[in-house]
A and B are shown apart, each in its own frame.
Chain A
Amino acid sequence: GESVGLHLPTLSVQEGDNSIINCAYSNSASDYFIWYKQESGKGPQFIIDIRSNMDKRQGQRVTVLLNKTVKHLSLQIAATQPGDSAVYFCAENNAGANSKLTFGKGITLSVRP
């Protein structure tokens, strides 16, 4: 069935290092992908998105890479800061009639000072 999954449940990085969070998806019809960040006690917040006609998109300190061949999505955070500590979710959407987002289970990013 359709699923979106993250390879690792937790990731610990040193402050200042780059972080890479990976995500696999199984629905080849998905054409829109989003990364969300959820801090403790808050709702998920949009970080960056990418459509299936692209393989890379950059934001401020973040880059999302999409590999449709192997159905893999990654989020790269440059110069990770303590404020980046949170749970990160990838999500996929098929922009067909249902337009439902399917979320991965989430990965915790912990930044060591």
Chain B
Amino acid sequence: DADVTQTPRNRITKTGKRIMLECSQTKGHDRMYWYRQDPGLGLRLIYYSFDVKDINKGEISDGYSVSRQAQAKFSLSLESAIPNQTALYFCATISLTGELFFGEGSRLTVL
């Protein structure tokens, strides 16, 4: 089983719809991250959390929100999806030594 699991893996939705991407981890790490990947732009940090109920904005948080209700789960929401949020989204956890573990990604298409 994967250490970091993301659902759904693929999602197609329409402009204005609310979307939630779920992430769960079995590493027991406190710190979790959501990244967005676009061609030519690499990985950009959306939000991160150092502990349950702790939420911090990354470099591109506008249009997104997150929830960290449990150590193992970190969800990313798009309250009203727009086409330029079409991207590949990655959840990750980080160990105490700084090693980052990524999920397999969630591909979101907003029409």
Q: Which of B42, B45, B104 contacts A100 (CB 8 A)?
A: B45
* Closest B residue to A9 using CB positions: B40
Nearest-neighbour CB distance to chain B for A43, whole angstroms, equals: 4
A95 to B50, CA, bound (A): 13
Q: Is the interface of B mostly helix, strand, loop or mixed?
A: strand
Contacts across chains A and B counted by CB atoms under 8 Å:
51
Decide: B41 and A105 in contact? CB cutoff 8 A: yes
CB pair B98–A32 under 8 Å, yes or no, is yes
In this complex, how many residues of chain A approach chain B with their Cβ under 8 Å: the count is 22
Question: With A and B bound together, what is the CA distance between A105 and B33 in angstroms?
Answer: 18
Please tell me the number of chain B residues within 8 Å of chain A, measured between CB atoms: 25
Distance, CA A32 to CA B41, complexed state (A)? 22
- B42 and A46 contacting across the interface, CB-CB below 8 Å: no
**Structural contact, B42 and A106, CB atoms closer than 8 A:** yes
Contact of A49 (CB < 8 Å), options: B33, B50, B99, B103: B99
Q: Is the Cβ of B42 less than 8 Å from the Cβ of A89?
A: yes
Please give the residue numbers on chain B whose beta carbons come within 8 Å of chain A beta carbons, in ascending order.
Answer: 4, 31, 33, 35, 40-45, 48, 50, 56, 58, 90, 92, 94, 98-105
